[in-house]
Amino acid sequence: MSSDGLNRRERVVNRNGDTNKENVCRVVSREVSERPQNQSIIKRVMSGMALSMTILAVVYYTTQCNDTKELVMASVTQSITGSPIAQQVMCSQDYTADRVRFPSCVPQRCGRFVSDSVITESEAKHLLSVAKRGLSLGGSSGGHSLLSLHSGDLWMATNIVNIYKLIERTQRTEADLKELFTEKDLKVYRRVTNRIRKTIAIQFGIPWAELYLTNPTYFSRMTAKRAQMRFDKYWLRHVDRKNRFDLFTSLLYLSTYGADFTGGRFIFADQMSNTTIEPKLGRLVAYTAGSENRHRVERVTSGTRYALLMAFTCNHEFAAKDLPIVRQQTCDQPFCLLYGVGCPTLFSTNKFSE
């Protein structure tokens, strides 16, 4: 008899104030009929516990015994000068159409490389100041903000505005925008993007004169803020070429993992391993943009992460326009400064030569 049964019997006996046999028998017979019910409850509880334990064990086992290896391709403490660190991977089928259209200018070998010596520290710092200045005019409400100097697209709250037309929409004065970007900024930007273009061409064995900077090319700022729109979710795994037609993507990091931000490492999601790159001011990463290089960015957990993303194509039609805004000494009318009206040199064609 269970102790609960005993107590119940005592209670019945005491409440009636006697030890009436009939009463006791009634109680005992009720206990006998309740016993299988109790047992089935216990059984159910036990099997529920067993099931939960099994689920916990499976979850623990699959998380602990994950076969995905973590390989660090470039850590923040490393300094990759001299030859870049390179990894070759098998090309996906994503380039079939380009091989027909641009036979001499399609990756013959696919992969990725990292170098810390293509761009100097002072060039990287200069571009960081351009990124900070430009992005300070807008910024997404979530954790991911972009600014393209070519198109003028700037993420602001949950919209995209044009930085070159901001003056029409905000209370900013012309002087604010005139001071925003200088000729020196433009020069550094051109020099850096051009050197990266040549480096990519050499690394992937294609003629550099046939390779063009293309859209999307933008400064990015990532923080730990909660996502407000789909594009804020920079941590989602993706293939760059899925939504675009560029052949190569490169990233020039403008801030340093561990010093300026935490989280935010770049990860190639390979089949058997995760290959990680820790961003660092002036570090260049470049890779073929097809599904052989699926990747993601870890969520930034603190601080601010800046980078310049550049895409490259062999298709001249998609070559990025030269930067339209620059403070020019020879051009002193506000409209000329902002939109290049009456100032033809501002809209010169794609002159990405050093």
Ligand X SMILES: O=C(O)CCC(=O)C(=O)O
**Residue closest to ligand X (Cβ):** 266
Q: Does 309 bind ligand X (CB under 6 A)?
A: yes
Contacts of 282 (CB under 8 A, 6+ apart): 116, 119, 120, 121, 123, 124, 252, 253
Omega of the bond prior to 107 within 30 degrees of 0, cis?
Answer: no
Q: Does 266 bind ligand X (CB under 6 A)?
A: yes
Burial 309-335 (b: 16+ CB within 10 A, else e): bbbbbbbeebbbebbbbbbbeebeeee
Residue 138's closest CA among 154, 121, 118, 115? Answer: 154
Shortest spacing between CB 174 and ligand X, in angstroms: 32
CA distance 341 to 333: 9
**Residue closest to Fe ion (Cβ):** 240
Q: Does 224 bind ligand X (CB under 6 A)?
A: no
For residues 298 and 96, the answer to whether their CB atoms sit within 8 Å is no
Residue 125 three-state SS:
helix
Q: Does 308 bind ligand X (CB under 6 A)?
A: no
Q: Does 219 bind ligand X (CB under 6 A)?
A: no
Q: Does 95 bind ligand X (CB under 6 A)?
A: no
Q: Does 247 bind ligand X (CB under 6 A)?
A: no
DSSP conformation class of 284: E
CA distance 114 to 59: 36
Residue from 185, 240, 246, 322 binding Fe ion (CB under 5 A):
240
CA distance 82 to 63: 39
Question: Is 305 annotated as catalytic?
Answer: yes
Please choose, out of 164-172, 190-198, 234-242, 257-265, the segment that lies near Fe ion by the rule CB under 5 A. Answer: 234-242
The binding track of 117-136 with respect to ligand X, each residue x by CB under 6 A or -, is --------------------
The binding track of 274-293 with respect to ligand X, each residue x by CB under 6 A or -, is --------------------
Task: Specify the residue, 188 or 288, whose C-beta has the smaller distance to Fe ion.
Answer: 288
Task: Specify the residue, 109 or 242, whose C-beta has the smaller distance to Fe ion.
Answer: 242
Task: Specify the residue, 197 or 295, whose C-beta has the smaller distance to ligand X.
Answer: 295
Which residue is catalytic, options 30, 244, 305, 327?
Answer: 305
Number of residues engaging ligand X in binding (CB under 6 A): 8
CA distance 64 to 61: 5
Shortest spacing between CB 315 and Fe ion, in angstroms: 19
DSSP conformation class of 59: H
Residue from 199, 220, 223, 250 binding ligand X (CB under 6 A):
220
For residues 296 and 124, the answer to whether their CB atoms sit within 8 Å is no
Task: Specify the residue, 232 or 322, whose C-beta has the smaller distance to ligand X.
Answer: 232
Please choose, out of 42-50, 206-214, 236-244, 280-288, the segment that lies near Fe ion by the rule CB under 5 A. Answer: 236-244
Q: Does 114 bind ligand X (CB under 6 A)?
A: no
Shortest spacing between CB 266 and ligand X, in angstroms: 4
Strand order in the sheet with 69-74: 69-74, 273-277, 266-269, 295-297
Q: What are phi and psi of 18, to 5 degrees?
A: -145, 175
Q: From the CB of residue 233, how many other CB atoms can be counted at a distance below 10 Å? A: 16
**Size of the chain, expressed as the number of residues it contains:** 354
Sign of CA dihedral 121, 124, 130, 136: negative
Residue 246 contact among Fe ion, ligand X, none, beta carbon within 5 to 8 Å by kind: none
Q: Does 251 bind ligand X (CB under 6 A)?
A: yes
Q: Does 240 bind ligand X (CB under 6 A)?
A: yes
Q: Does 12 bind ligand X (CB under 6 A)?
A: no
Residue 149 contact among ligand X, Fe ion, none, beta carbon within 5 to 8 Å by kind: none
Pairing of strands 159-162, 153-157: antiparallel
List contacts with Fe ion (CB under 5 A).
240
Name the residues annotated as catalytic.
305
Using CB under 6 A, list all residues that contact ligand X.
220, 240, 251, 266, 295, 297, 307, 309
